């Protein structure tokens, strides 16, 4: 009787102590490592190349010393969607198109956020889509279909994420079940802001932060987002780097993909240039903090985009000096995507790899400390 009472007391106490704190006592990596994974959704080699020909003439892509390619297929299709593509990167397993954090038997996969959280690291996700959209969701949620964004919001509340920034307020406060998930976030220790990123961010390492700055996605005009992606990346790094055990951060240039789907070259290129600014923030941190690995890749290519010459003509001298971007599809393609790496453990990413290898290599860097 007494024993039973004691067990139930212990059980109650365990509910009060965050799982992360319990785990932290048991597991430690050899060294603190920070990994910043930047995903350009739909960013194939041509999309990346546009940063070399448009904008102000400089870009951060070319600062990455180690480069390779990733084959982005899913378990079911040669051409993946962003859910299976994100899950492959986040969990190291190929699954069916549409799945978030589940395998082909619909069983939950452990993602990199869950893995490193056991070791007491901090984690974050930043996106210009809703934070419950397929790519960021793959890093904290487990749902059968990507469009279950209200369920994904629930998973975010329960997750180990310490910092997030993106859109998607409606999936928290205008839910079919009528529940108020902004309040749930606060109950789970989040400081929630639905207006804007602060000009000055003095984060409290004991707190978690959630920025939901649009009903669904953020503005489709990058210039109207007030440098959101780079600023949110900087804020995430400021907050997460206060954890001496290290951190994992995923940053997504979400709308490169939408420029591709819309076959809108100007939209696409502006999104690549916006994503490039976030790369610079990550690189600047990694240059000063040598225990940091920065990886840039894509979940797949979108649009069959090319930086083509306007027409096939050798007679007109100017033809080959004028790029007239073209698209081959309104959907995704199977083309290999770039993998760029800088910093601790970066040389592992050279050469050809599967999307799932990127997860394995990130994990290995955390475990081995190099
Ligand atoms: Mg995406
Ligand atoms: Zn897409």
Helix residue ranges per DSSP H, the chain? 2-16, 19-26, 45-53, 82-91, 112-117, 134-137, 149-158, 170-173, 181-187, 228-240, 256-261, 265-288, 355-368
The closest ligand to the CA of 299 turns out to be 1
- Which of 205, 193, 199 shows the shortest CA–CA distance to 164? 193
Q: 133 CA to middle of ligand 1, Å?
A: 6
Choices 3.40.720.10, 3.40.50.300, 3.40.605.10, 3.40.50.620: CATH for 34-312+326-337+344-354: 3.40.720.10
Average pLDDT (279-306) is: 98
Q: 18 CA to middle of ligand 2, Å?
A: 36
Average pLDDT (249-271) is: 98
| Count of Cβ atoms closer than 10 Å to residue 168 Cβ | 26
Q: 353 CA to middle of ligand 1, Å?
A: 21
Bridge partners (DSSP) listed for residue 295: 37, 341
The closest ligand to the CA of 125 turns out to be 1
Average pLDDT along the chain: 93
Residue 13 has pLDDT above 50, yes or no: no
The closest ligand to the CA of 268 turns out to be 2
The answer to whether 144 touches 96, Cβ cutoff 8 Å, is no
Residue 14 has pLDDT above 50, yes or no: no
SS3 302: strand
Give me the residues near ligand 2 (ion), CB cutoff below 5 Å.
257, 302
Task: Give, rounded to a whole angstrom, the gap between the first and last alpha carbons of the chain.
Answer: 51
**Structural domain boundaries in the chain:** 34-312+326-337+344-354
- Kindly tell me the sign of the dihedral angle through the C-alpha atoms of 251, 254, 260, 264: negative
Q: 4 CA to middle of ligand 2, Å?
A: 54
Full DSSP string of 284-296: HHHHH-TTEEEEE
Is residue 82 annotated as part of the catalytic site, yes or no?
yes
Q: 252 CA to middle of ligand 1, Å?
A: 7
Catalytic residue of the set 49, 82, 122, 138: 82
The closest ligand to the CA of 42 turns out to be 2
Q: 136 CA to middle of ligand 1, Å?
A: 7
Separation between Cα atoms, residue 367 and residue 353, nearest integer Å: 20
Average pLDDT (339-364) is: 98
pLDDT tens digits, one per residue of 167-186: 999 999 999 999 999 999 99
CA distances from 266 to 197, 279, 298 (A): 26, 20, 19
């Amino acid at each position: 009787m007494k024993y039973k009472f004691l067990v139930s007391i212990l059980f109650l106490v365990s509910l009060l102590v965050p799982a992360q704190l319990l785990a932290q006592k048991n597991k430690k990596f050899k060294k603190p490592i920070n990994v910043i994974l930047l995903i350009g959704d739909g960013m194939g080699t041509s999309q990346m190349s546009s940063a070399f020909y448009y904008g102000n003439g400089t870009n951060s892509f070319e600062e990455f010393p180690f480069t390779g390619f990733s084959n982005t297929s899913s378990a079911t299709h040669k051409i993946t969607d962003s859910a299976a593509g994100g899950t492959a990167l986040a969990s190291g397993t190929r699954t069916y198109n549409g799945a978030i954090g589940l395998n082909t038997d619909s069983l939950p996969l452990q993602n990199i956020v869950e893995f490193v959280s056991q070791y007491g690291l901090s984690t974050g996700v930043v996106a210009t889509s809703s934070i419950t959209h397929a790519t960021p969701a793959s890093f904290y949620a487990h749902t059968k279909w990507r469009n279950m964004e209200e369920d994904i919001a629930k998973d975010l509340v329960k997750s180990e994420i310490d910092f997030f920034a993106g859109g998607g307020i409606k999936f928290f406060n205008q839910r079919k079940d009528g529940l108020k998930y902004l309040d749930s976030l606060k109950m789970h220790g989040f400081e929630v802001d639905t207006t804007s990123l602060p000009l000055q961010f003095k984060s409290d390492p004991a707190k978690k932060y959630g920025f939901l700055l649009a009903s669904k996605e953020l503005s489709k005009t990058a210039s109207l987002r007030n440098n959101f992606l780079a600023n949110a990346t900087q804020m995430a790094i400021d907050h997460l780097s206060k954890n001496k055990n290290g951190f994992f951060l995923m940053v997504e240039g979400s709308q490169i993909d939408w420029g591709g789907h819309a076959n809108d070259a100007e939209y696409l290129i502006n999104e690549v240039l916006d994503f490039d600014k976030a790369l610079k923030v990550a690189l600047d941190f990694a240059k000063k903090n040598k225990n940091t690995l920065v990886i840039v890749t894509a979940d797949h290519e979108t649009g069959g985009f090319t930086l083509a010459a306007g027409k096939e003509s050798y007679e007109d001298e100017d033809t080959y000096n004028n790029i007239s971007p073209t698209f081959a599809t309104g959907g995704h393609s199977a083309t290999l995507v770039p993998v760029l790496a800088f910093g601790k453990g970066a040389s592992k990413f050279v050469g050809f790899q599967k999307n799932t290898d990127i997860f394995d290599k990130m994990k290995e860097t955390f475990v081995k400390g190099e």
